[in-house]
Amino acid sequence: MARPSPVSSSERLESLDVLRGFALLGILAMNIRAMAAPFAAYMYPYAMFDYTGWNRAAYIFTSVVFDLKMMGLFSMLFGGGVLLYAGKGTTTGKPPRGLWFRRMFWLLLIGLVHAYLIWDGDILVPYALCGILFVWWARRLPAWALATAAVLMLAIGAALSVMHGLTWDSTPEDTRNAELEMYMPTPAQVQEAVGAMHGGYLEVVTERAPGTFMIQSIYFLFFFLWRCGGMMLLGMALLKWGFLDGRRSAATYARAAVVCIPLGLTLAGWGVVELERVRYAMPERTIPDIWNYVGAVFASVGYAAALLLLLEYDLVRSLRGRLASVGQMALSNYLLQSTIASIIFLGWGFDFVGRADYAGQLLVCAAIWLFQLAVSPWWLARYRFGPAEWVWRSLTYWHRQPMRGDTRRPTPAAV
């Protein structure tokens, strides 16, 4: 057999790329909150913007429609990708275990560079850690066992959050103060955080480094491991059931979309109602947050079903190719989103930090969406991979990948 190599464009499942592109764009609607302002503005809408009118509407809209849902969908696709990767041929005929762990090592390294040198809200490191720790080893489990394990992991994550709220008073005071600075900062703390974002490049990355490490260690153990890991296992189960790659009937996707999307968004909406009732305060918010935590699982599955149904009837013909291109270049586009936002908002760029409120952030987000929907198909019409994918694959397979060559996308009939 020939040396193992990445799949060509014509071998890809367009449906998965469309889902991935949709999720990748949706993730920016949440990330932009912590790119355009201090992280406290992500969690606490009273931190620095007027929480009324269009501003409040924008915050509620993104919380209900996007928060955790896009990360959940992307995590499901990551889990499904493990199964597809394990099916790649090798010279020995065995699953490419060595390639997978090399792939995760380089993803971890790319994530660390991204987190410490570009944007501290990185998700690549948690994905790589889940891929290294357990996802590969779970691939042989039957679908029902994967789904059961997914529910268990998600339940553990929810229980940890509830327990944190219930034991708040017994938490060490310095730990509580650090959390309050992140979840309910004083005006002085907000201004200090804004001032740090106004700094030069080295000042910004140095100031963010301790928080970045906390996200990749403590926050990973208490949140990302269970949330992302659980959704990855769910994605593996859904792929084995033929759901995630478009093999089920249109009626199945219609039923899933009609049930899961309203249920998920209703739960998330009720969570916002409860959060506003307690004014997003700690520790009172830990219980209301669970409504969205649970609702997002249903919404992620529902979004996947709705998109696959639209693909089944070819109802997004004008968008499917563009979304698929964004998804095929997901790593490049994710890093590009962070880079563009950093240049726009941070002090070493155009220094617009704090100037775009929640409604204004959505306008910036929409502009980046349009840019990526336009540039991604243009790039893939000329090159085989996105630039970051080319680096990642060249490092994984330990030989330089050709950038030109097979740039054909699969036809809808082949999906």
What is the C-alpha to C-alpha distance for residues 230 and 157, in angstroms, rounded to an integer? 9
Domain containing 32: what range? 9-414
Residue at 4 is within a domain:
no
The yes-or-no verdict on residue 12 having pLDDT over 60 is no
Residue 51 lies in a domain: yes
Instruction: Give me the DSSP letters along 28-73.
Output: HHHHHHHHHS-THHHH-TTTTS--SHHHHHHHHHHHHHTTTHHHHH
22, part of any domain: yes
Domain assignment present for residue 2? The answer is no
| Average pLDDT of span 191-201 | 95
pLDDT on residue 1 = 37
Q: Smallest Cα–Cα separation from 238: which of 304, 293, 315?
A: 304
Is 223 within the bounds of a domain? yes
Q: pLDDT band at 92, cuts 50/70/90?
A: low
Mean pLDDT of the chain: 92
Spatial neighbors of 285 by CB under 8 A, at least 6 apart, are 165, 183, 275, 278
Q: Is residue 1 domain-resident? A: no
pTM flag (> 0.75): yes
Nearest to 80 by CA among 39, 21, 20: 20
Is the residue at 112 inside a domain? yes
Give per-residue pLDDT as tens, 148-159.
999 999 999 999
223-266: per-residue pLDDT in tens? 999 999 999 999 999 999 999 999 999 999 999 999 999 999 99
Number of domains in the chain: 1
At 312 the pLDDT is: 85
